[in-house]
Amino acid sequence: MPTTETGRAAPKSQAERFAEYVRPAVVAAGYDIESPRSGGKKALAEATGMSASSVGRMLAGQTLPEPVHLERLAEVLGISLMELLVRSGIVSEKAGRQGMHSPPPPTPDAPLTPEAAARALGIRSPDRVQMFTAMAKTLADQEEVDEGVRPGGGA
């Protein structure tokens, strides 16, 4: 790591912080990026719509992906866009907790979603929102099963 004139470590660039987060996420998503002949970087480039050279520079901490590629990169890595932005340092924790926009209030035509309910209850962590959403879906699915088993659909 480069040092300053005082001998202290120079602060990492945003691109370096992004690479520190995204490299393990890329490996966890199944892309072999360590072996030069594995094709992992090329496969990641194809999956995200980025050029192979852009992927290489991103993983090396030299550049950030173009904004147009961030959403697809998050999808390919199996993480939310907000998680990618916050954990890589592009967006602050505060902005991540607030979200970019508040969800619209539920209407009779658009019922309350589990994600909006989680946020309304103060659940902000993307992992916890996902867990809350999964639990809500499981409970709703079980209600449907129970209604099919019980005469009259009551408890």
User: Please, which residues have CB within 8 angstroms of residue 113's CB and are 6 or more apart in sequence?
Assistant: 103, 106
Q: What CATH number does residue 67 fall under?
A: 1.10.260.40
| Residues 64 and 132 placed together within one structural domain of the fold | no
Residues 27 and 48 in one domain: yes
Query: Does 31 lie in the same domain as 94?
Result: yes
* Token code pair at residue 152: 């009259």
Q: Check whether residue 123 and residue 68 sit in a common domain.
A: no
Tally Cβ neighbours within 10 Å of residue 57: 17
How many domains in the chain? 2
Give the end of a domain, one of 55, 79, 100: 100
Q: Which domain holds residue 62?
A: 1-100
What is the chain's Cα-based Rg? 21
pLDDT tens-digit map of 80-132: 888 888 888 788 877 766 655 555 555 556 667 777 777 777 776 777 778 88
Q: Do 108 and 73 share a domain, yes or no?
A: no
Q: How many CB atoms lie within 10 A of CB 121?
A: 10
pTM: predicted TM-score of the whole model, two decimal places: 0.56
